Amino acid sequence: MREAVEGVEWPGGADVCVALTFDLDADVGVGWRRLEERLTSLSEARFGATRGVPRILDFLERMDLRATFYVPGEVADMHTDLVKAIVAAGHAIGHHGHVHLYPDRATATEQRAEIEAGLEALDRCVRVRPLGYRCPGWELTPYTLGLLDEFRFRWDSSCMGDDRPYVERHGSASLLELPVHWSLDDWVYFIFTRDGGGTMLGPDALKSTWLLEFESALAERRMVTYTMHPEAMGRGYRMRILEQLVEEFRARGNVWFATHEQVTDLIDARAGAEGQPNGGR
Ligand SMILES: [Zn+2]
């Protein structure tokens, strides 16, 4: 059962809401312990931390943008200063597992450990208690959704049941969903691996798709979330695409670039004003 959150008035009279989100998978996303004998694959993953994030932070500051970074707990352990820099720059931090286990391939015990260890690591390393979650590998399970409810998370960003914010429900668990889609994820355009191949499309494929989706969101006055990975989007020529896209967005309308936390605050405040307990969920 799903209900869309409709008719949200964006702050400042904005016509559309854009959320730029980055999944900081780095060494952990590829399972660095399994890659200790494969230095090339491991080095590409680490590029996201060494080059991607600094470039992205410079870009966000220069363009006066706030973004949401989903960070696995072990990445916070391994790259603590980098994650501290993200927090210090005013960006939102979301939970992205601990060692980036895919919930649908993990036992219930492992799923619980991913949530608990990720929370502990982000608290220990950067003193952040994330209130939003993005599922590694984008296959949320009923058990993990229940854990998000149990640990009082306020939003999830892993499902695709609408292109507007909506309430994702399963059994007695429910959570505000800030939806994603594979076509709005840089991974499918840019990542090539020796094991799995890939498309490695030219820059125009991503740019034209993301711009058309923005135009649709603008016409419908809705929100759109773009998902990026520092090891993918953080390459030099791809950052040029991202900058061109932001300029194109701004030329077409009054855009509210918001973190997922800001959007959740707005939606929950509106639900509260309408007298719906717990944001209507
Ligand atoms: Zn990830």
pLDDT digits (tens, 9 = 90+) for 19-76: 999 999 998 887 777 778 889 989 988 999 999 999 999 999 999 999 999 999 999 9
Ligand 1 centroid to residue 234 C-alpha, Å: 15
Ligand 1 center from residue 148 Cα (angstroms)? 17
**Euclidean distance between CA atoms 165 and 71, whole angstroms:** 22
> Measured in angstroms, how far is the CA atom of residue 240 from the centroid of ligand 1?
23
Summarised one tens digit per residue, pLDDT across range 62-98 is: 999 999 999 999 999 999 999 999 999 999 999 999 9
How far is the centre of ligand 1, averaged over its atoms, from the C-alpha of 136 (Å)?
A: 5
Provide the residue type at 210 as one letter: W
| 4: β partners | 166
pLDDT at 1: 41
Question: What residue type is 134 in one-letter code?
Answer: R
Q: How far is the CA of 97 from the centre of ligand 1 (A)?
A: 8
Of 2-11, 129-138, 147-156, 244-253, the range with the lowest mean pLDDT is 2-11
Distances (CA, A) of 13 to 4, 8, 18: 21, 11, 14
CA of 52 to the centre of ligand 1 (A): 15
Q: How remote is the CA of residue 96 from the centroid of ligand 1, in Å?
A: 7
- Ligand 1 mean position, distance from CA 151 (Å): 20
Q: Which contacts (CB < 8 Å, 24+ apart) does range 143-147 have?
A: 143/103, 143/108, 143/111, 144/103, 144/111, 144/114, 144/115, 145/170, 145/173, 145/175, 146/170, 146/171, 146/172, 146/173, 147/111, 147/112, 147/115
Distance (Å) from CA 134 to ligand 1 centroid: 8
Bridge partner list, 259: none
